[in-house]
Chain A
Amino acid sequence: MASLLLWVLIPPLLGFIILGLLGRTLPRSAILTVAWGTVALSFLFALSAFLSLLGVHPDSQRVSDVSVYTWAIAGDLQVHFGLLLDPLSATMLLVITGVGLLIHIYSAGYMADDPGFWRFFSYMNFFIFAMTLLVSADNLLFLLVGWGLVGLASFLLIGFWYQRPAATAAARKALVINVIGDFGLMLAIFLLFKHLNTVDYGYGGPNCIPGTSGYGVLTAASCQQLGSLVSLAIPLLLFVACAAKSAQLPLYMWLPDAMEGPTPVSALIHAATMVTAGVYLVARTHVLFTLSPYALPIVGAIGGLTALFAATIALTQLDIKRVLAYSTISQLGYMFMGESAGSYSAGIFHLTTHAYFKALLFLGAGAVIHALGGEQDMREMGGLRYRMRITFWTFLIAVLAISGIPPFAGFWSKDDILGALLTQATSVGGAARYLYYGLWGLGVLTAGLTALYMFRLFYGIFMGSYRGAGPLKHGHAGSEEEEEEEALTTVGRRRRGESALYEIYEVPAVMTVPLIILAILSTIGGLVGSFALFDYSRWQPLNAFLAPVLGSAPEGNLPLLWLSTGASLIFALLGLLIAWRRYGQGFVYKESRNPFYRLAYNKYYVDEIGIALLINPLLWLGRQASALLEGGLLDGGSRLVGRAFSLVSAGGRRLQTGYVRNYALAILIGVVLIILYYVVRG
């Protein structure tokens, strides 16, 4: 079965190589054939791997781990490049290749006018390869390889429009923060190897006994031997990696800036797949997180704080992609909360549904931006429901899904998380109980805020009357200076309001078809989760499928679950209502003097604080060091050597008179000296 996984990996890699080497010379149709074809092949192989897994009974046998080749042997350390097919990796692969395929198709329309068409698709194929490698690796070392490669793909794609200074700065920021995470992951791997002598997930490793807790990562029995300090350090270091990759506090700053990349990239990498790698890693190594009583509460606390923090920022943003970016951060916080309650399958479930509706939201926003010729500011939108019907309806479905309105997908998964949190709060004792109650409260509050800011966005884009001045006339690839210049020179001529609305057209079918497919998934995708709410325990396909890897979620108490659901639903409806009251007749931007508003609008000044506390001192240190080392030591040293030479040669050049007879004299002096030596010697 794992050979199937190899075939999931190979096509995107081949596509990347072909497009990267030959893409410049290929016609557009050939580029699309390669790009779509490889991802479609990958999806088909992932699907058949998934189906083959379903055919295996009993559930606990649903695993296959095949070593493709041995990468390195050094003493006790044996690293195999192995591919692991189990329910978790199969689910992730389906999401990655499925959503990836849809976004590849969509990109053909979105990037149609871009001169870097081939480069874009070669990077995208590379990303699919890296991400599938990440989830199908059977040991932490190759997971790290995939982890680093997706970071590279993200860097390349954020900086895709490298002519824009903002894009390259954002790409750099993303890379630096991701490398912090990579470092945490590396340290965790070192610690694991030091204490357990393995980097494998625990299939047949010398220290891990399979079958003790399903067939999970590094089975619990083997990990008991870790000391309490190490058993806390490893999950925390792993979580550093997760926080950097999945944009959790305090390493989230790169994700909003990453919106400088093309919108399909934001949809694929920075919403649906790559940023959920942290959630995957926690689920994959959950045994390590359960070793210490403090690890999971810390994860939950950070997730909860991030969820609320990002939601408040999202409330105030005007750039539609930034709203979605903060919403992504908030939803990722949700997933970590769910995992911290021990319900890893709830986290993965939310990951899956979130992949559908957040990809849909980004692609819908991309369609709007495309139709408006690169406009991203909500103040210049409104009333688009008349002109972009498909985008309007699919966007509405996505907004309902993320807001947690039944029966859309987000309702089920969010409900799963909140229910798990409340269950955990009532079942654990001690101080942790208050933490989980608090997290549940945060989750419910965030659910309300989510509905509020999503409907604010929705009303701002589609409702009311059009406030803009028609589509910007150039492609979105132009530089920002150009945009501003054009806005200044043409603002007088361009008509505003309703008449300009008729210059806007719905995007082509190549973009709307993925929207429709994702809308269907966002509608019914939640049904694969669980119907625990209705006490119908036989229908929870995803949870049951994942159970052998992740363990079953704690059984919930039925009234408690209903309480949780009711509360979150009430808050969501409340958010919806407030949004409708304030923005239902169209979005009106008002400068607010409210200090809390200013605080959130300016993203809590985190970037400014970071620059003042971290960047500037580092820059100062670097300048001092460069002045001292470069200027004083290296330059000074080399200047000293140079001055010594010029002093010596200033004297020496006087000897070189250019007169041949002087040189002859020098020879004669030498001869006389030699003869005199013999005279003196006797």
Chain B
Amino acid sequence: MSGPALIISFFVLAVASVASALGVILFRNAVYSALSLILTLLFLAMFYLQLGAMFIAIVQILIYAGAIMVLFLFVVTMLAADPRDPDLQDRLPWQRGVAAVLGLVLVGALSYLLLSGTPLNEAARAHGSEALSQVVAQQGNIQAFGQALFHGFSFAFEVTSLVIVVAILGALVLGRKA
């Protein structure tokens, strides 16, 4: 993609992802929220593609949109509570206003910090054969990612397997009929 197309696609993606994200928290029905979240995740995957992270984009779609969100939808349909239940009045109505104000302050502050040009450290860029773009050019995208994962972070990778085992066992224990 060339310059203007890139910028246009960025803005389209940005607006779409923010809109669908707002959908997540604004829909009353949890099913709509979940679908909205799936949309957000898809837009994010496109961002990743735009940023050249092909493996992450694919994984994002496979795991998040494919696996996690399916699980969410299962549970949502299983536990659907009546949204018009009179018991379920918001006991903290004031918190909405406070949250909105704080959210605006947070976004404002972060944007200010980003735009006021706190300079990014150029020296931190990787160079030479270390640079990602070099490796991608020589070996391909997935290989580059795999090399980084298994060379630099093999221990963390192994630990994630442990985390998953524990999570599975935990889900089993919690899901058992008491």
Contact = CB atoms under 8 A, between A and B. Distances in A.
Asked if A and B touch directly (CB within 8 angstroms), the answer is yes
Contacts, number: 30
Nearest to B91: A659
B interface: dominant SS: helix
B109 A672 contact: yes
Contacts of B92: 659, 661-662
B19 interface: no
Contacts of A676: 105, 109
A650 interface: no
Nearest to B108: A679
B121 interface: no
A669 interface: yes
B106 interface: yes
A349 B109 CA distance: 107
Interface stretch (B22-30, B34-42, B94-102, B168-176): B94-102
Contact of B113 (A662, A671, A678): A678
A673 to B, nearest CB: 10
Contacts of B110: 675
Contacts of B106: 668, 671-672, 675
Interface of B: 91-92, 95, 98-99, 102, 105-106, 109-110, 112-113
A661 B109 CA distance: 23
Interface in A651-682: 659, 661-662, 665, 668-669, 671-672, 675-676, 678-679
A interface: dominant SS: helix
B74 to A, nearest CB: 23
B113 A679 contact: yes
9 contacts: A659-B91, A661-B95, A662-B95, A665-B98, A665-B99, A668-B99, A668-B102, A672-B102, A679-B112
Contacts of B99: 665, 668
Nearest to A657: B92
Contacts of A661: 92, 95
Contact of A675 (B91, B95, B98, B109): B109
Contacts of A675: 106, 109-110, 113
A667 to B, nearest CB: 11
A679 B109 contact: yes
A676 B106 CA distance: 8
Contacts of B98: 665
Contacts of A679: 109, 112-113
Looking at B92, B102, B109, B113, which has the most chain A CB atoms within 10 Å of its CB?
Answer: B109
Contacts of A669: 102
Nearest to B101: A672
A668 B103 CA distance: 9
Contacts of A665: 95, 98-99, 102
A662 B112 CA distance: 27
B152 to A, nearest CB: 29
A662 B95 CA distance: 8
A678 to B, nearest CB: 6
A659 to B, nearest CB: 6
Nearest to B112: A679
A551 to B, nearest CB: 95
A121 B102 CA distance: 85
Contacts of A671: 106
A678 B91 CA distance: 34
Which 6 A-B pairs have CB atoms at the shortest separation, nearest pair first? A675-B109, A679-B109, A672-B106, A672-B102, A668-B102, A672-B105
Contacts of A668: 99, 102, 106
A362 B35 CA distance: 106
